[in-house]
Structure 1
Amino acid sequence: MEDTVSAGYSSGRGFLRRFRIDLLVLVVSCCIFLPLVVSPPHLMDDVDAVQAQIARNMLQSGDWVTARLDGIAYLEKSPLIYWIMAVSFKIFGVHDWAARLPLAIINIALCWVTARFAMWAFDRRAGVYSGTILATCIGIFLFTRILIPDAALTLTIVLALWSFLRLLDDSERRRTTWFLVLYISLACGLLLKGLIAAVFPIAIAAIYLVITRETSLRELAKRIRPLSGLALLLLIAAPWHILATIRNPPYFDWTMHSNPGEYHGFFWFYFLNEHLFRFLNLRYPRDYNTVPRLWFWLLHFVWLFPWSVTLVAAFRNSYRPVSRAGKTRLLALIWIGFVLLFFTLSTTQEYYSLPIYPALAMLLGSDLATREKYPWSGRLVLSLILGTSLCAIVFLLAYNAHATVHGDISNALTQNPDMYTLSLGHMSDLTLHSFAYLRLPLVLAGCGLLIGIIATLRARRTVAVVAGLALMMIVFIQAARLALVAFDPYLSSKALAEALNRSEPGLLIEGDAYYAFSSVFFYTNKSALLWNGRSNNLEYGSSAPNAAHVFIDDNTLKSLWSSERRTYLLIYGSDLPRLKDLLASEFKVVASSGGNYLLTNQ
């Protein structure tokens, strides 16, 4: 009887401890991600508003199979992220914050699952550290501030690999639960990001098994149940792929195209062009850039900052698969190496390596959990970096102390369109004077850095340093969020959309590819003619037989502009001189924002 009571009491205490850990990780994650739901206030042009508009189009049209923009099939992405946003719109209404809410919840869930994984593999302290590290590193903020599915993909990979380890664990009692989690995660990943969502976990698990020889093939099949799992995976993921192939078949018109057979339907574009040819850097159209391989690797010290200062030390722990901790470290090492090698051999964007962040966070967290005192080398490096950064902020504030600001921040920026195919390309637009518009974010960032410096120099115990650095990053990321608010007129065309909504009805033309003013389409829910916009992600779909006729050339623009019909034109400020030469007629500026214009012919 006493043993039963004692066991119940111990179990109750264990539950309370786990609850406190869960609560702590959730609070830190919510402080990072929930403010981003409502601020910056508007969706940005390019991918941000495009993703939201696709979700709205699906909801309004009832076509949940083929994503469309402006009446053109958008075939390159899997649909689950659009479905999730569309459901959010259905529940809360079509708002920018409703588009962002699912991603914020996914990010919070990712940090919590990573903490739980680390807690299971190592101990409670490692769980807290791992979840906190993932939530507060620079990269997770930078690469989830826009509506892309990579954080959701990462969540499915974490769940799949954790399920794999749990199914191999002899002490695991809930095998059916983890069997379902494994294959449902793989299926959801396929519907989020395509084949790599299955390639990554399967390849990582296979390499792990080859190295460890942990179980026989018969026992492995008994635990993982590949045939039943494949049936479940196909039941979830196959219907969309089949329907998308049927509804977007190949079309060959030998008379209309200079390149016969240019449109090959969904199957060719999605499976060959988007997967194989993108990997080989042969994708059509080539509307993307790639980060140099060396920088792709080295920049992880930036994306994982401030925790990356102990990254080298974290790799010195034992990876022998003789314990649950050793097995998890080995799996994490294979996980990191395979993903980095995969993208090293392929095209790379800065955020492509996001799936390895949980593995890195667990290695860092488990290492710090074994240290009573924070490594002195880490404190030294952190102090130098944080001190230098604080000096840079003081310099920028002093440099712009008497600077005057006129209008929005676009007046102090440069434009480097060649860099915009990179995720962080707009950072190249910054000038020294532009920081005059960012005084409050700079002051707040400086306060955050000061917290980090004090924690690094004064605290000795690891738990105190981790707490101080986490608080520093919460403050610093809020400063970055406020900076994005200042950039809002430059990165979003909401002001032009509002002006268009207030204007008399008329024909809308956009002076570039759809992405250029995509936030206008979201906030007005209008379609437009695209002047010289047959490029980038809509170029392939524009050749489909059912594509809307929305692409116009110079002659059509001149004809429409000189007609009696009221016509509006969205255009970059840099294109105004060419427009004046082309039209040779008067036009009225309806509104301007961020250096861009909404014009009308009447």
Structure 2
Amino acid sequence: MKIESFKRRLYRFQPFLHRLVRPSPSGRGVGLFALASLGALYLLECGSPVIFDDNEGLYAGAAHEMRARGDWIVPTLDGMPRCQKPPLVYWLILLSTSLFGENELAVRLPQALASLLWMAATYRLGAALGGQSLGQMAALILGTAFGSFVFGHIIMPEIFLAASIAWSFWFLWKALTGKEKDRYGIGLWASMAFGAMAKGLHALIYPLLVAGLLALFSRTLRKEVRHLFPWQGIALFLLLVAPWYLAMEGRLPGFLQEHFGNEQLGHAVNHRIPPDAGTVHLPIFLGEQIIFLLPWSLFGGALLFSVLFPVPRAAPAVLEEQPVGLLLGLWILLTFLSLLPSSLQDYYALGCFPALALLLARPFCEVREGRPHWTFWIPFAAVAGLAVAAAIAGIAYGTNEGLGRPSIVASPVDQRDNFLAAIFGFSFNTWRAFVPLLLWASASLFLGGTAGLWLAWHGKRLASGICLALAMLLPLKEAGAGFRLMGDYFSSEKIARYLNRLATTDRRIVADGEPNFSSSLFFYLQGDRVYWVHSSSASSFSLRSSPEGRKLYLSEAEFLELWAGERTVYWICEESAMKHWKRILDEKTPSWSIVLRCGTRVLAVNRLQGGLPDHD
């Protein structure tokens, strides 16, 4: 009775939901040009900066070691098995570096292509749900959103998972509503296999769970759900996914339990042992999503108005009959509900960004007479006004302080491990270096906001949205330049290249802290294994499957014994921690010296032997 009552209420809510995605006719030429320009920007920007620590170094480093060992089955870092993630990202990096060499462009190219696939899926899904205009605008919103560019520029499996989920929902919708349903059902399982091999079973759970709820609440779709389970599709999924897992279990007995139990389920319920990442608090996480969707999140009021006060006009029968809004609503709702018990990370909501982009694109694709409601044109004015304010503040600050190289004060790397911590982990003076970038970005956004306001004021909704999307290209390009400015503070590349120029005599390289905070060493360092002090990141499974790896994790006493010995030891440490270490090192080896500074870290050596290479 309760379910029936809930379903009756839901059916009454259907007209509200399907109004979110009604189509409107419009030309496609300018939108396609904007999408092509956006795709070119993603490809051109993937060659820089240097590989960053944490996520990027973990994947680039593992692929580097797999190539060196000639082993495409077992990923390793520092010679120890890395069992956290499936291998697709490693394989794509290996394929790319086989073609283009081991460099930043080749390593990031698969990430950029995955971002383009993500936008393409959003376009196709929007076109299927509400027409070409909706698909174009949603893809532009997704690709020009600030967070999409930032996370699409950093090597991680989430973009691959998000692209997989978006394509899965397109295949799901076509299998439920289109022709040749079984063929689309096979495509659904192939897409889910892609996501499962990039990140995990999340790729399987979201589409199938949404499909089950659609069948429960929609009489129209219930009889079509059988097309989602063709035996050929299920067989294809197993054929694509099972071999690697079985091979890993054969090579590392106990892997399946560790991978599915500790890694995937452990992260899902915030119970991974040992913890390998900090958790973002829920209110901060929700606020971050508004930031990541800028400038488009400013149009949330226009979306609400367009739903509450729809244009009275006939909609295509398919949208009247099918629960389009329910599909998108369930997609978003299940994504956020599934994240509540997890070890939240900034980027965990990326999987539902296409659904959010489709909703935010709705007001741009309406056909209304006269001037739009203020909730639609005010955001354009806000973009232009904020751009002017930012430019004035930048000029005033730059004039007062000068635009020379700023004196940078930053928190240690391990205290800058999420988005907001990375922003606030630097002194305010640091951002003086970004003033020239800010001025160009502000100019572009002022022009785009002003032109968009004029177009919106005259009722040209879609044109105004495309105009703002084009104006976002330069700020995104400047964001890429910002990455390059801060390279030393997020990468160990400078340290690795310095060590590579030294003669590779009998030496030890030791780092203070967790390996992921210096992970770019695994990609750039040639031939050396790294030893670690104060690290708990090696899981019991990795040590059990590779017992020789225990020698890489040193206590303070073991490190000091090594430091005082005859062998040359290079020591990587946060400069702030040298207050603790200086007295101890002075007692052990008075001749020790700091030979390099890289961001907040220093490279010290226990004794100097021969000449030192030049360095910046």
Question: Which of 442, 447, 458 is the aligned partner of 2:454?
Answer: 458
Whole-angstrom CA distance in 1 between matches of 2:57 and 2:101: 16
Residue identity in the other structure for 1:60: A
Q: C-alpha deviations, 1:534-561, integer Å up to 9, x for none?
A: 3236565234344423122223322322
Question: Which of 320, 327, 334 is the aligned partner of 1:331?
Answer: 327
1:430-445 pair list within 5 angstroms: 430-445=426-441
What is the aligned partner in structure 2 of residue 528 from structure 1?
529
1:182 is paired with a residue whose SS is helix
What is the aligned partner in structure 1 of residue 255 from structure 2?
266
Q: Is the 8 A contact 1:21 1:124 kept in 2?
A: no
Pair 526,400 (structure 1): closer, same or farther in 2 beyond 3 Å: farther
1:289 is paired with a residue whose SS is coil
Q: Which 10-residue stretch deviates more, 191-200 or 377-386?
A: 377-386
What is the CA-CA distance between 1:341 and the residue it aligns to? 1.2
Whole-angstrom CA distance in 2 between matches of 1:494 and 1:127: 40
Quick check: 1:300 aligned with 2:280?
A: no
Quick check: 1:230 aligned with 2:234?
A: yes
Whole-angstrom CA distance in 2 between matches of 1:216 and 1:503: 67
Residue identity in the other structure for 1:347: S
What is the CA-CA distance between 1:231 and the residue it aligns to? 1.9
Q: Is the 8 A contact 1:47 1:148 kept in 2?
A: yes
Whole-angstrom CA distance in 2 between matches of 1:163 and 1:21: 27
What is the aligned partner in structure 2 of residue 356 from structure 1?
352
1:34 is paired with a residue whose SS is helix
What is the aligned partner in structure 2 of residue 193 from structure 1?
199
What is the aligned partner in structure 2 of residue 162 from structure 1?
170
Question: Which of 112, 125, 134 is the aligned partner of 1:104?
Answer: 112
Q: Is the 8 A contact 1:495 1:593 kept in 2?
A: yes
Q: Which 10-residue stretch deviates more, 19-28 or 279-288?
A: 19-28
Pair 72,22 (structure 1): closer, same or farther in 2 beyond 3 Å: farther
What is the aligned partner in structure 2 of residue 258 from structure 1?
none
What is the aligned partner in structure 2 of residue 5 from structure 1?
none
1:143-542 pair list within 5 angstroms: 143-169=151-177, 171-173=178-180, 175-215=181-221, 220-221=225-226, 223-249=227-253, 265-314=254-303, 317=307, 323-324=318-319, 327-372=323-368, 375-384=373-382, 386-388=384-386, 390-403=388-401, 411-415=407-411, 419-460=415-456, 461-505=460-504, 506-536=507-537, 540-542=541-543
2:111 is paired with a residue whose SS is helix
Q: Is the 8 A contact 1:400 1:435 kept in 2?
A: no
Unmatched runs of 5 consecutive residues or more in structure 2? 1-25, 609-616
Unmatched runs of 5 consecutive residues or more in structure 1? 1-16, 250-264
Residue identity in the other structure for 1:401: T
Q: Is the 8 A contact 2:81 2:546 kept in 1?
A: no
Q: Is the 8 A contact 1:53 1:69 kept in 2?
A: yes
Residue identity in the other structure for 1:571: C
The alignment of Structure 1 onto Structure 2 pairs a total of residues equal to: 564
Q: Is the 8 A contact 1:570 1:598 kept in 2?
A: yes
2:440 is paired with a residue whose SS is helix
What is the CA-CA distance between 1:19 and the residue it aligns to? 8.7
Pair 429,364 (structure 1): closer, same or farther in 2 beyond 3 Å: same
What is the CA-CA distance between 1:375 and the residue it aligns to? 4.2
Pair 413,387 (structure 1): closer, same or farther in 2 beyond 3 Å: farther
Residue identity in the other structure for 1:379: W
What is the CA-CA distance between 1:573 and the residue it aligns to? 1.1
Q: C-alpha deviations, 1:433-456, integer Å up to 9, x for none?
A: 112212221211221221233124
| TM-score, length basis structure 1 | 0.87
Residue identity in the other structure for 2:209: A
Q: Is the 8 A contact 1:368 1:374 kept in 2?
A: no
What is the aligned partner in structure 1 of residue 90 from structure 2?
82
Whole-angstrom CA distance in 1 between matches of 2:381 and 2:74: 52
Residue identity in the other structure for 1:229: G
Whole-angstrom CA distance in 1 between matches of 2:464 and 2:27: 22
Pair 345,597 (structure 1): closer, same or farther in 2 beyond 3 Å: closer
Whole-angstrom CA distance in 2 between matches of 1:594 and 1:418: 13
Pair 438,539 (structure 1): closer, same or farther in 2 beyond 3 Å: farther
Whole-angstrom CA distance in 2 between matches of 1:134 and 1:374: 23
Q: C-alpha deviations, 1:3-60, integer Å up to 9, x for none?
A: xxxxxxxxxxxxxx999588435413324412321232x1112211221011121222
Q: Is the 8 A contact 2:97 2:107 kept in 1?
A: yes
Quick check: 1:569 aligned with 2:571?
A: yes
Whole-angstrom CA distance in 1 between matches of 2:222 and 2:582: 74
Whole-angstrom CA distance in 1 between matches of 2:594 and 2:126: 57
1:205 is paired with a residue whose SS is helix
Whole-angstrom CA distance in 1 between matches of 2:284 and 2:535: 32
What is the CA-CA distance between 1:101 and the residue it aligns to? 0.6
Q: Is the 8 A contact 1:32 1:474 kept in 2?
A: yes
Q: Which 10-residue stretch deviates more, 90-99 or 398-407?
A: 398-407
Residue identity in the other structure for 1:507: R
Q: Is the 8 A contact 2:211 2:225 kept in 1?
A: no
Whole-angstrom CA distance in 2 between matches of 1:437 and 1:181: 48
Q: Is the 8 A contact 1:38 1:97 kept in 2?
A: yes
Pair 80,389 (structure 1): closer, same or farther in 2 beyond 3 Å: same
Identical aligned pairs, as a percentage? 26
What is the CA-CA distance between 1:111 and the residue it aligns to? 0.8
| TM-score, length basis structure 2 | 0.85
What is the aligned partner in structure 1 of residue 6 from structure 2?
none
Question: Which of 585, 597, 602 is the aligned partner of 2:602?
Answer: 597
Whole-angstrom CA distance in 2 between matches of 1:419 and 1:578: 18
Q: Which 10-residue stretch deviates more, 320-329 or 196-205?
A: 320-329
Residue identity in the other structure for 1:241: Y
Whole-angstrom CA distance in 1 between matches of 2:86 and 2:137: 33
Pair 504,565 (structure 1): closer, same or farther in 2 beyond 3 Å: same
Cα root mean square deviation, aligned:
2.7
Q: C-alpha deviations, 1:406-449, integer Å up to 9, x for none?
A: 76x6x423306564342442111232211221222121122122
Question: Which of 103, 107, 115 is the aligned partner of 2:123?
Answer: 115
Q: Is the 8 A contact 1:397 1:442 kept in 2?
A: no
Question: Which of 556, 560, 563 is the aligned partner of 2:562?
Answer: 560
Q: C-alpha deviations, 1:163-201, integer Å up to 9, x for none?
A: 1111122x514x454233111111111111111111111
What is the CA-CA distance between 1:389 and the residue it aligns to? 5.0
Residue identity in the other structure for 1:44: F
Q: Is the 8 A contact 2:274 2:539 kept in 1?
A: no
Whole-angstrom CA distance in 2 between matches of 1:368 and 1:567: 61
Q: C-alpha deviations, 1:276-327, integer Å up to 9, x for none?
A: 2322222211232222323333433222222222335435549999624753
